[in-house]
Amino acid sequence: MYITIEGIDTAGKSTQISELKKKYTDAIITKEPGATEVGKEIREIVLNARAQSKKAEFLLFLADRAEHVKEVIEPNLDKMIISDRSAVSGVAYALIQGEINKQDIITLNDFATNKVYPEKVFLLKLTKEELEYRLSQKELDGIELRGSQYLLSIQDAIIEAAKLLNIELIEIDATKSIQEITKEIVKSI
């Protein structure tokens, strides 16, 4: 089974991945962007906000996604795969940019992924207040510097992206305790 943990920055994706790793010791744990050698370089470019064009940024994410599917996902489809982000995030970010129409976004993602998508998406959902508190507690990267309103619009776009990709989405209140969230995820797997 291929699942993904989605959510905006600071929602607790990494924490939940760590908890799930303890429960599913044989699972393939991966992330997007940055799970491959090429992906690490692409992630660095994107997180440092070096691309000036939103279209270029989108195409960089697609390049990472294509490598990720070919190197990590497809060879392991017979195993449990748990990913920190996926095409769902990529589609969500592209929707927010507003520079590419929805059908093109889906077509390009279908091309990059060979239509290999997660079976279930778990969205760790934050309130504006909790997001702003969490952001105030850390050094911000290029995406986080765009502000809480931008990140909350991404959160809404993740929901729309899952619908567009026809992937089951399970929303989880990210303000719950770590254990409660993990229990909810495991129950739905």
- The enclosing domain of 97 has a CATH number of 3.40.50.300
pLDDT per position in the chain (189 positions), as tens?
Answer: 999 999 998 999 999 999 999 999 999 999 998 999 999 998 888 777 677 788 888 899 999 999 999 999 999 999 999 999 999 999 998 999 888 999 999 999 999 999 999 999 999 999 999 998 888 888 877 677 777 888 999 999 999 999 999 999 999 999 999 999 999 999 999
Tokens 């508190």 found at: 133
Instruction: Supply the pTM of this predicted model.
Output: 0.90
How many domains does the chain divide into? 1
d(C-alpha 15, C-alpha 40), whole Å = 20
The boundaries of the domain holding residue 65 are 2-188
Tokens 């940024």 found at: 57
Comparing CA positions, the residue from 55, 57, 87, 93 lying closest to residue 69 is 87
- CB-CB contact of 158 with 123 (8 Å): yes
d(C-alpha 135, C-alpha 152), whole Å = 12
d(C-alpha 88, C-alpha 157), whole Å = 9
| Paired tokens of 44 | 């660095």
